[in-house]
Amino acid sequence: MSVVTPFPLGAATTLAALAEDPHPRLALLREHEPVSWLPELGGWLVTRRDLALEVLRDAGAFTVDDPRFTTAQVVGPSMLSLDGPEHARHREPFAAPFRPRAVHDGFAEFIEGETDRLITGLLTKNGTALRQDGTAELRRDFAGPLAVAVVTKALGLAGTTPDTVLTWYDAIVQAVSDLTAGLTPAPAGAEAYAHLRKAVETTVTGTSLLASAIGPLTLPEVSSNAAVLMFGGIETTEAMIANALLHLLHHPDQLALVQQDFALLDGVIEESLRLEPGAAVVDRYATRDITLGPATIRSGDLVTVSLAGANRDPDVFPDPDRFDVRRANARLHLAFAHGPHYCLAAHLARLETRIALRHLLERLPGLRLDPDRPSAPQGLVFRKPPTLHVRWSALVGSGES
């Protein structure tokens, strides 16, 4: 570990503050210490966009392939925790179904159906349409189940249900989060991964995305990548939907624009990703001594890229804290990372979120946040509201739009 010249802002930055409301502190760091040593992190935090890109693009100097990489500690080596030819070998068998045309052709109809089914469930009770003002908690009763259903379909996991997959996912995410925070993870994470591996063993005997990866990859390698795809697909999409809804419903003027023109939904998604990426940070490890901006980084140092910090860089995004669905360059955000580890399922996550937002706005008239049950994004690594309570107006008719 480096012996570094003190960085006063970094020294005063706590992980608790970064988990609760990181943006004011990230703005200070970005302006004064864009590469800063954080003793609580035990590593460097990069908050300026141009410097973040340097790290993400250069897998030779900043690698994920390190024994300290937390996800690999839970599920083993995968496309997420390897670089170079091994990374390509793990990633390539899964790439084709997640390309834009394949995503639309393979998933759009399923996502439409699942979205409608889940919203109908919100609008009915015991099979009877509600004719009163409606309320719901949309993170766990809508966004999460939708993301899990799509991931389950994408992987073709045999003998599982979305509820089971969600239970595994929660345990694995908690284990990764505990390790990132320097805690000893509970045994539930390892138990969940063992169950997932058994499901993968059953699945690879049939015809599925996982079965097609056998050959280029061994069975343990398919299992670790299945965990990463499950982990990323659920976390990314649940957070995208919840955070986008939260941003949109917090800004009635922007909501009004979208309700007049659903073509602006793409702007909602990109701007929300910019302001509050579901994964706030990604870790790399320096492979050699290197200078990054104002910092001298030593071989082996942890280098954490703050995607949340980079996404609000005022040199790229004027008035960076403002939610603007018409922001012309919102897609320059780094919410899906960049370089060789750019999110494999980004197109699928965008499609899910676009369909989800459109159907919610169409079928839940007067959709608004519940003022009696407020919430806000939380989390050091993964950021989304713990709950998302909403209300909508009285319905007329059967509950079908």
- Domain residue limits, the chain: 8-392
Q: How far does CA 34 lie from the centroid of its chain?
A: 24
2: confidence class by pLDDT, cuts 50, 70, 90: low
- Helix residue ranges, H only, 58-206: 70-75, 84-91, 100-123, 138, 144-155, 162-180, 188-203
Statement: residue 254 has pLDDT above 90: yes
What fold, for 8-392? Answer: Cytochrome p450 (1.10.630)
Distance (Å) of CA 126 to CA 130, 184, 363, 365: 10, 43, 19, 21
Contact between 210 and 218 (Cβ < 8 Å) = no
pLDDT value, residue 132: 60
Range with the largest mean pLDDT of 128-132, 180-184, 241-245: 241-245
Contact between 90 and 78 (Cβ < 8 Å) = yes
Q: What percent of the chain has pLDDT over 90?
A: 73
pLDDT value, residue 299: 98
Contact between 34 and 50 (Cβ < 8 Å) = no
Q: How far does CA 180 lie from the centroid of its chain?
A: 16
Lowest mean pLDDT among 212-216, 269-273, 335-339, 342-346: 212-216
pLDDT tens across 69-105, in order? 888 898 899 999 999 999 999 999 999 989 999 999 9
Q: Residue holding tokens 């040199």?
A: 315
pLDDT value, residue 5: 65
159: confidence class by pLDDT, cuts 50, 70, 90: confident
Structure tokens at 193: 């991964």
Statement: residue 47 has pLDDT above 80: yes
Tell me which of 135 and 131 has the higher pLDDT: 135
pLDDT value, residue 126: 52
What is the pTM assigned to this prediction? 0.92
397: confidence class by pLDDT, cuts 50, 70, 90: very low
pLDDT value, residue 398: 39
Statement: residue 274 has pLDDT above 80: yes
pLDDT value, residue 394: 60
pLDDT value, residue 178: 85
Statement: residue 401 has pLDDT above 60: no
Contact between 313 and 290 (Cβ < 8 Å) = no
